[in-house]
Amino acid sequence: MNFLEKLLALDRRIIFLFIAIAVALPLFFTVKLHIEVTPVVRNLHNALEALPPGSKVLVSLDYDPGSMPELQPMAESFFRYCFMRDLKIIIIGLWPNGPIQANSALEVILNEPDIKKKNPKYGMDYVNLGYTAGNEVVIERMGSDIPVTFPKDYSGNKTEDIPLMKGVKNFNNIDFVYNLSAGYPGTVEWVLFGVDPYKIKLGAGNTAVQAPQIYPYLNSGQLVGLLGGMKGGAEFEIATGHPAKAVKFMFSQSVSHALICFFILIGNFAYFATRKKKGA
Amino acid sequence: MKKTKAVLFSILIILFFFNLSFPQENLSPLPPTEVRASDTPNDNGHSITVTWKLSGDDGADKKNVVAYEILRSDSPTGEFIVRGMVPAGNNTYQDRGAKEKEDKNYFHPHKDFYYKVRAKTLNSYSESEVAGPAQAYGEWFHLGKLPVFVGTVTFTIMVLAFISLARKGKEFYVRPLAGIDAVDDAIGRATEMGRPILYILGLGSAADIATIASFTILNRIAKKTAEHKTKIIVPCNDPIVMSVAQETVKAGYLDAGRPDMYKEENIFYLTSMQFAYVAAVNGIMLREQTATNFYLGKFYAESLILAETGSVAGSIQISGTDEIAQIPFFVAATDFTLIGEELYAASAYLGREPLLLGALKAQDLAKAIVMISLALGALAASFHLGFFLKLFTVQM
Amino acid sequence: MRRQLPILIVFVSGVFMVIQYFIPHESFEFIYEYAMDWIIIIGIFAMLLGLWSLTRASVSKVQAKAPGWGFSVMTLVGLATMLFLGFYKGNKSIAEGTFFMDLFWYIYTPIQATMFSLLAFYIASAAYRAFRVRTVLATILLVTALIIMLRLIPLGPISGVNQWLASWILTVPNMAAKRAIWIGVGLGATATALKIIFGIERAYMGKD
Amino acid sequence: METIGIWIAALLTLGIFSFLYKDNPFYKFCESLFVGISAGYWFVTTFWQVFMPKLADNLIAGRFYYMIGAIFGVLMLLRLFPKIGWLSRWSLALVVGTTAGLYFTRYLVSNGMVQVQNTIIPLYVKGNLSQTIGNLVIVIGTFSGLIYFFFSKEHKGAFGGLAKLGIWFLMLSFGASFGYTVMSRMSLLIGRMDYLLGTWLGLIR
């Protein structure tokens, strides 16, 4: 068996090893990748920029640990952006794990030096209202009364007593809604039960697999902007001028994508070369 | 020109002062007009739809109306309570309620209700005249679903007609399908090698159509394995699927006349959690050295893990799913793939039962109708004829 | 009785569900909601069948000292631990912060995330094996996959063209092919549903 | 607890990864533990989150319609007793019949009518060449794809040519989906690597 034939029947484990290296090694470096911000992300960023400081932003985290690699960086970069711009954050979850994910993202962001200087206060600048069962019905109920839908926050305080929630009755008192979604219930439900009846302004981040199903809502204008998968997360970080986890992870993405393409090419090269030989 | 400016200016000044002295009354917007309340069509009978003409002060240049409140009462002169609110620019509201009598928000059907609409500015409001009475009642047919009804009836008649033709002994031709022809070879290979066959029904429940189609295929394959005296292993991820799979395989062994060879412990339940199930199936493939793997049914992300592990083990693999996102991975990593509809057709192919073949013919006829509609529809749309699209439009 | 009655139940419940789709009236809505709940409840009872099958298989492996029986002991231990922890404090057993949830976070979650991430390796090895220019079909598969993957790699001057091409492929020809599959699946599934309701497809019922 | 937990999680992660090299006792250990834990977790959570609210609470509240579901549920369990096992078919019939009826209209509408509706688009858009081409490709692609799925006629002649075009479209779509999915699969691995190298070993931050 010569080299080319060996290459043709390459042991899978060699590919596995290269993939592991291609993903792990770039994590040690911080590289300024050129990532172009696509219009769908740009639109979301512009809509957020238009909000005056003090605006109230509702963040619905509708995912679980399975989608953390893609959506957690989006949650972190969004919280960072809000704190820097003095936007008030109201967190909820339509998935039971959402508010837990929010807390772990907040833990990361609140420890960043820039944010520490701002010193956001729980109850004044951000609040976590926790999870309520009922999927899309929760959105409908929030349309008429948010404090009734979420009577207590994540740690059991009465929603009415929280300073940030003063004057927040329903969607009329919310300036923007941001939804991170990994499936049902998620962005589709926010569009159908939030945007359509209550005319809320909605931006979303989705897993890459989910994103194509959401595109029609962008074209129709029901959705302001969309972050699709890790790349969308990275674009948002670039747009907000604060490259972080997603940008860093994108280096791994590029290297591993390039590696797969490279393997496909050498596989075909070996295939052609051996075929020629046999023909000769 | 100067004069008008001066007049406007003085009006503004006057308004300003009035505003200071009488903040409420003079800023009241014009009320909404032509308020109508009627039963919401095509619903369960617990909702009334209210429509109105926008207030004269609702518009881009005036903008002082921010929202409309919808109020309801049992009598035209009684107390009106707020039922809901919509932002400015909207002119309809569905007043909905629960259908359970014990619910706080129960909406009484067949009862007279009266409505008012209130146009609101930031610090003032004005009310429309009272509309009504209106009653809510449930409908017995959803008119918006008429196209679906027509489709249902037509398709049902087609299927039944072809099946009755088949019953009368009419023979139907179906073209060969690569994945199906491979099934016999795959079973033969396992027999020669003296190794078992692995059959995976996917992650669907026993009620998923793809899973049921897969049961029929399992039944045929079990019959063949019984004839060849080859072992068949069916690990399941749903308890009901497991029960059905046991019945199905047993029936296959009965058909082959070998009920004695049926072993229930080869059709077993592992766990219902996706990746734990996959972890265990991976182990089975490598430890049992299965010669042939079938993956037929509903598959999600695990499809590629299964297919690649099977290929490491050197098994012949035949796959099929209607889960569109997973077909590419089966196509890339298994030897034969039944794409989408081919999975449903496979049961008819394998059994060659005339009745099932008849249904397949009905499917083809329906497909022809769809294709003709597509072509005609696109032509109609090119000439801006909208009626054709309406034939397929379903209102929910 | 053994075969005729079940076929009748299938027919009646199937026809009812088709009819109720067209009837918005609440009386049908109520039965529909009950029926859906009954299905869920049947599924819950069936869970016991699953646990029984898993336990019996593992126990018999241990009893027979079959190869790898030690691993069956691990399965039984894991199962018994979760069942005990999940019930011993009543409905408070599965609250956040309990040992039950610790096992979920530190054993279940990492294993399941890792199993899922194996796909990164397998997608690479499958691409290597399958994407060869052997036939026209394999070539089409290969070329489109390459174009789409290249969109994540900085390519300098041709990056823009490639981005455009990738999104065109995803939104136009890809969409066309998916629609064809969807429509086919729709017809196949409705035909199969009809065959089930009319009792023509009945292999799933078994035989006596 | 957290430190021990992270160590256990990291070791189990490595155990599963070891399967990539070859099947081994470490993987077998993780696998069998995973099966047991997951089956238990699933049973317990379904019991508390579905069984209690759906059945127990409703029965306590006096909604006895739910008894019907429970009776069918018990019939399902009779499978464990061979002599009366056939009674479980009644429950099975209810499950299959109900969902077959449900899926019938669901597939007809969302897979059939809605898709046809979306494909009825003008073949010529005045003054917009790219949309004209796009629409043309969509209609031709869907049409030829459906030809490929035709079972009654052999793929020969002009019909066979269209069917071939159809399968080309299908392959193009499969290639695109494959390439598109790579990113999300890599994301998963990046997540695990980040856990091992960052959360566990603290090598990266």
D120-133: average pLDDT: 87
**Residue with tokens 């959402």, as numbered in its chain:** A98
**Residue B292 β-bridge partners:** B197, B316
Domains of chain B in start order, with CATH, are: 26-134 (2.60.40.10), 143-161+357-390 (no CATH), 172-352 (3.40.50)
Nearest CA in chain A to D118: A216
Is residue B22 over pLDDT 50? Answer: no
Instruction: Kindly report which listed range (A5-9, A77-81, B378-382, C6-10) carries the lowest average pLDDT score.
Output: A5-9
Is residue B295 over pLDDT 90? Answer: yes
Q: Positive or negative CA dihedral for B57, B63, B64, B69?
A: positive
pLDDT digits (tens, 9 = 90+) for D20-39: 999 999 999 999 999 999 99
Banded pLDDT at B21 (limits 50, 70, 90): very low
Instruction: Kindly report which listed range (A76-80, B270-274, C200-204) carries the lowest average pLDDT score.
Output: C200-204
B325-347: average pLDDT: 93
Is residue B18 over pLDDT 60? Answer: no
pLDDT digits (tens, 9 = 90+) for C82-120: 999 999 988 788 877 789 988 998 999 999 999 999 999
Nearest CA in chain C to D88: C6
Is residue B24 over pLDDT 70? Answer: no
Q: In the prediction, which pLDDT does B194 show?
A: 92
Overall number of domains in chain C:
2
Pairing of strands A88-93, A56-62: parallel
Banded pLDDT at D177 (limits 50, 70, 90): very high
Residue C89, C-beta contacts closer than 8 angstroms, at least 6 positions apart: C98
- The verdict on residue D179 lying in a domain is yes
What range does the domain containing C20 cover? 1-63
Q: In the prediction, which pLDDT does A261 show?
A: 95
Cβ contact, residue pair A20, C170, below 8 Å: no
Rounded Cα distance, D75 and D85, in Å: 8
Q: In the prediction, which pLDDT does B215 show?
A: 93
Contact C186, D115 (CB under 8 A): yes
Does the CB of B152 have a partner CB in chain D at under 8 Å?
Answer: yes
Final residue of a domain: which of C63, C80, C102? C63
Is residue B260 over pLDDT 80? Answer: yes
With a pLDDT cut of 90, the percent of chain D lying above it is 61
Contact D20, A16 (CB under 8 A): yes
Banded pLDDT at C1 (limits 50, 70, 90): low
Cβ contact, residue pair B392, D116, below 8 Å: yes
Q: In the prediction, which pLDDT does B100 show?
A: 78
**Neighboring chain A residues of D197 at a CB cutoff of 8 Å:** 24, 27-28
pLDDT digits (tens, 9 = 90+) for B27-71: 678 888 888 888 888 888 888 899 988 888 777 565 678 788 888
Q: In the prediction, which pLDDT does A18 show?
A: 96
Cβ contact, residue pair C121, A253, below 8 Å: no
Cβ contact, residue pair D187, A24, below 8 Å: no
- The verdict on residue D144 lying in a domain is yes
With a pLDDT cut of 90, the percent of chain C lying above it is 61
A46-65: average pLDDT: 93
pLDDT, mean over chain C = 90
Does the CB of A54 have a partner CB in chain C at under 8 Å?
Answer: no
SS3 track for chain A: CCHHHHHHCCCHHHHHHHHHHHHHHHHHCCCCCCCCCCHHHHHHHHHHHCCCCCCEEEEEEECCHHHHHHHHHHHHHHHHHHHHHCCEEEEEECCCCHHHHHHHHHHHHHCCHHHHHHCCCECCCEEEEEECCCCHHHHHHHHHCHHHHCCECCCCCEHHHCHHHCCCCCHHHCCEEEEEECCCCCHHHHHHHHHHHHCCCEEEEECCCCHHHHHHHHHCCCCCEEEEHHHHHHHHHHHCCCCCHHHHHHHHHHHHHHHHHHHHHHHHHHHHHHHHHHHC
Q: In the prediction, which pLDDT does B14 show?
A: 55
What range does the domain containing D186 cover? 129-205
Q: In the prediction, which pLDDT does B61 show?
A: 61
Question: Which of A27-31, B198-202, D56-60, D130-134 tops mean pLDDT?
Answer: B198-202
Banded pLDDT at A1 (limits 50, 70, 90): low
Nearest CA in chain B to D35: B276
Is residue B135 over pLDDT 90? Answer: no
**Architecture (CATH level 2) of domain A38-242:** 3-Layer(aba) Sandwich (3.40)
**Neighboring chain C residues of D110 at a CB cutoff of 8 Å:** 186
Q: In the prediction, which pLDDT does B282 show?
A: 95
Banded pLDDT at B5 (limits 50, 70, 90): low
Cβ contact, residue pair A66, C112, below 8 Å: yes
B296-314: average pLDDT: 94
Phi, psi of D24 (to 5 degrees): -155, 165
Instruction: Kindly report which listed range (A82-96, A249-263, B140-154) carries the lowest average pLDDT score.
Output: B140-154
Q: In the prediction, which pLDDT does A79 show?
A: 96
**Neighboring chain C residues of B395 at a CB cutoff of 8 Å:** none
B179-206: average pLDDT: 92
Q: In the prediction, which pLDDT does C8 show?
A: 95
Q: In the prediction, which pLDDT does B101 show?
A: 77
Banded pLDDT at B176 (limits 50, 70, 90): confident
> What Cα–Cα distance (Å) separates residue D89 from each residue in A260, B140, D76, D205?
50, 33, 7, 57
Which value does ipTM take for this structure?
0.91
Overall number of domains in chain D:
1
Cβ contact, residue pair A23, D190, below 8 Å: yes
Final residue of a domain: which of C63, C81, C113? C63
Q: In the prediction, which pLDDT does B44 show?
A: 82
A212-233: average pLDDT: 87
Q: D residues 13-42 near C, CB within 8 Å? A: 13, 16-17, 19-20, 28-42
Contact B115, B37 (CB under 8 A): yes
- Which residue would you say has higher pLDDT here, C73 or A137? C73
> What Cα–Cα distance (Å) separates residue B284 from each residue in A13, A155, B159?
20, 46, 41
Chains touching B, CB cut-off 8 Å, 3+ pairs: A, C, D
Rounded Cα distance, B371 and B382, in Å: 17
SS3 B268: strand
Banded pLDDT at A30 (limits 50, 70, 90): confident
